[in-house]
Structure 1
Amino acid sequence: MLLSNFSPLELARFDALVAALTSFLTCLLLVGTKKWHGAFSMDSSTGVQKFHTAPTPRIAGIALVVGVLAGYAFSSQSPAAAEKRQILSAILMAGMPAFIFGLLEDITKKVSVKTRLLATMASGLLGWGITGTSLTSVDVWGIDWLLGFTAISVLFTTFAVGGVANAINIIDGFNGLTAGVALIMLTAFGLIAREVGDIQLAFTCLVIAGAVFGFFLVNWPFGKIFLGDGGAYFLGFTLAWIAILLPERNPQVSAWASLLICSYPIIEVIFSIYRRKFLRSNCDATQPDASHLHSLTNKRWARRIFSEASPTLQNGLTSPFMWMYAAISCTAAVFFYLSTWKSCILIFICISIYLTMYSKLAFFNWIPRK
């Protein structure tokens, strides 16, 4: 039974609380010292994808990594917690290429999308090198046979990690959006891991969630600091790696349930590529624009429903709409994680919901009156 014998005290883990507090205080420190590092760390308020009203530090990835590191450092040294520490240490080490190259982009604004994508794929490769874990089954005849070959399994894993990490970066557009979605995803992963008895992975999700929550408190709703590419790519790698670990460590869990949990950012990035490539003339698929679903949600809903609020608050109040959409797939995965065919059907339902929402918002069919 889902959440059988659950106690709220399970959430009061010392290492998770340390991760949250460390991330929160590091964010406050970065905000408080922005006059010293702002020449390098500020995100301009001008640009096609800029919805904030003032230059803001975009290096909260530092706080995220420091928070996870603190959670790892303060984890129990008992033999029972050794496996959790191994998972956290692997995430920290393997996630460094994604984080470093993303942070370099935050500081220099000169690291190409291709280079950052390769860095996240390198993190996936490094994750396999450290742990020996890669995707070996997706419950599809023929593909599972191919994944039986180590080289193909590792290559598939690196592409999957790079894709999810880039997808998380794509949805990093409004205050609290990425952090809120990540917390919902980590909750789903953690609940499933707990239900199948993988307590160490469940507690790993809790530590990561603690670090994300510490950043969330400073980021939402007023956007005092942004995740930045370093944070988005590191968080994206972490979520992708947990998505791989869950079915690989627990074969009864369908790999499609992990895909269902990650479906919102993945659908966003695939549709964005399609939209830019085929629906807009002479447009590079990697060219940024302001036509994402969250962008339309801000324009059509948040600005109208909360017309009396400041632009900054309207920015933050866009995110709850997308949290609700992300919660649909994550909640469904928690209930149907054992079934591949049900997970596949639910993925198609989530795609249909996304396309319906996008179509209605793009063509002004779901616009509230002022």
Structure 2
Amino acid sequence: MFEKLPLKLQYMLPSNFSIAEILRYDAVIALLASFVTCLLLVCTKKWHGAFSMDSSTGVQKVHTSPTPRIGGIAIAIGVFAGFAASSHGIAAAEKRAILSAILLAGMPAFIFGLLEDVTKKVSVRIRLLATMASGVLGWGITGISLTHVDFWGVDWLLSYTIISVIFTAFAVGGVANAINIIDGFNGLTGGTALIMLAAFGIIARQVGDIPLAFTCLIIAGAVAGFFFVNWPTGKIFLGDGGAYFLGFTLAWISVLLPERNASISPWTSLLVCSYPITEVAFSIFRRKFLRDGQQATQPDAVHLHTLANKRWAKRIFPNASKTARNGLTSPFLWCYALLPCISAIYFRHSTSGTLLALVACVVLYLLMYRKLAFFRWFPQRKP
């Protein structure tokens, strides 16, 4: 059926692809386990709400009523259920090894994030260190760390194990925190994560890394189970535990893809993750240098997604309720997240191609931000 598609689109899709591949038993189990867990958490919120609810007051709050913010529990259970339901045959052993490493290594990020969800007393620094610890633990379990970025001097440094592990820990911590920072509207993080997992899965499938491709599928199933309860009405939130665990998972797949497949440029993984990374990098720059007296880690309400809600969703859907506009904001950002992911699939073997696409996506982000914040695409010339 794919022979009738344009050649460029055929190049982006896995060869011999069958729709049955995405309806695998273990992925469906992961979805159902996550979905049912979310429903149970929502239905029992009167019992655990005293410590699990996210208040509707605060500088970054856009929801209208207290909501459970422990959806990360559902995603973790979904991934575990998918792992448990996977075949125990020799052919599936590698996939199970990847999933078990993700579940074990992701625990520091998940636990410290969940502690913040229920206590509101875990500092940003501690949570960052926890996500970095997950990266180190991932290396300890698998022996895998980033060993090349296609720059000679840096690659030489990464040939030393200690430097490679430290670099990997910082990269994992950065992506995990980037996922957390875009967790602002119903469906935004879940939808973006599904797009990123689809890109990683397609690339892995295209280069023949079936274990990693099916790993992405199982994790996507767990995320989808949460997504169906979170979007569009926001019955449950991801929370820090879910954001950090999901962020670690995406970061670790970013590490595995080029390390397991030499033909894939390591910049491909960065391109797939570029939307949340650009968001966190620009937020730090904006707070540090453009807003006097504000700490880089201090929350504010001028992220790209917040501005999209105020400028685009409010204008296009003027009669929608605040809750409806909350959910209707996310599709604008999903469209942007698709651009680097599609580019990564197309340029997966090319360092120069992925770098050019990365620059283009960052420039587009900055232009959109300027348009939303200052109502113009480009700076005005000084007279």
Aligned to 1:290: 301
Instruction: Supply the distance in 2 between the matched residues of 1:107 and 1:223 (Cα, whole angstroms).
Output: 18
Aligned to 1:83: 94
Q: CA deviation at 1:365?
A: 3.7
Question: Per-residue CA shift, 1:2-33, capped at 9, x if unaligned?
Answer: 32211100111100000000000000000000
Q: TM-score, normalised by structure 1?
A: 0.98
SS at match of 1:231: helix
SS at match of 1:285: coil
Instruction: Supply the distance in 1 between the matched residues of 2:219 and 2:79 (Cα, whole angstroms).
Output: 6
Instruction: Supply the distance in 2 between the matched residues of 1:8 and 1:306 (Cα, whole angstroms).
Output: 35
Instruction: Supply the distance in 1 between the matched residues of 2:208 and 2:100 (Cα, whole angstroms).
Output: 21
Aligned to 1:140: 151
1:1-370 superposed matches below 5 A: 1=11, 2-365=13-376
Deviates more, 1:211-220 or 1:299-308: 299-308
> Once superposed, which parts of structure 1, at least 4 consecutive aligned residues long, lie more than 2 Å away?
none
Question: Per-residue CA shift, 1:70-128, capped at 9, x if unaligned?
Answer: 00000011100000000000000000000000000000000000000000000000000
Instruction: Supply the distance in 2 between the matched residues of 1:289 and 1:77 (Cα, whole angstroms).
Output: 47
Instruction: Supply the distance in 2 between the matched residues of 1:60 and 1:133 (Cα, whole angstroms).
Output: 29
Instruction: Supply the distance in 2 between the matched residues of 1:140 and 1:313 (Cα, whole angstroms).
Output: 46
Instruction: Supply the distance in 1 between the matched residues of 2:14 and 2:350 (Cα, whole angstroms).
Output: 18
Q: CA deviation at 1:308?
A: 1.0
Q: CA deviation at 1:304?
A: 1.4
Corresponding letter in the other structure for 1:181 = T
Corresponding letter in the other structure for 1:33 = T
Extract unaligned runs of 5+ from structure 1. none
SS at match of 1:142: helix
Identity among equivalent positions (%) equals 73
CA RMSD after TM alignment? 0.7
Extract unaligned runs of 5+ from structure 2. 1-10, 378-383
Q: CA deviation at 1:303?
A: 1.2
SS at match of 2:237: coil
Instruction: Supply the distance in 1 between the matched residues of 2:375 and 2:281 (Cα, whole angstroms).
Output: 23
Q: CA deviation at 1:149?
A: 0.2
Corresponding letter in the other structure for 1:223 = G
SS at match of 1:317: helix
Corresponding letter in the other structure for 2:32 = L
Instruction: Supply the distance in 2 between the matched residues of 1:183 and 1:235 (Cα, whole angstroms).
Output: 11
SS at match of 2:151: coil
Matched pairs, number: 366
Q: CA deviation at 1:141?
A: 1.2
SS at match of 2:152: coil
Aligned to 2:3: none
Q: CA deviation at 1:364?
A: 2.5
Instruction: Supply the distance in 2 between the matched residues of 1:16 and 1:337 (Cα, whole angstroms).
Output: 25
Q: CA deviation at 1:51?
A: 0.6
Instruction: Supply the distance in 1 between the matched residues of 2:52 and 2:14 (Cα, whole angstroms).
Output: 42
SS at match of 1:318: helix
Q: CA deviation at 1:282?
A: 0.4
Question: Per-residue CA shift, 1:220-275, capped at 9, x if unaligned?
Answer: 00000000000000000000000000000001000000000000000000000000
Instruction: Supply the distance in 2 between the matched residues of 1:361 and 1:310 (Cα, whole angstroms).
Output: 21
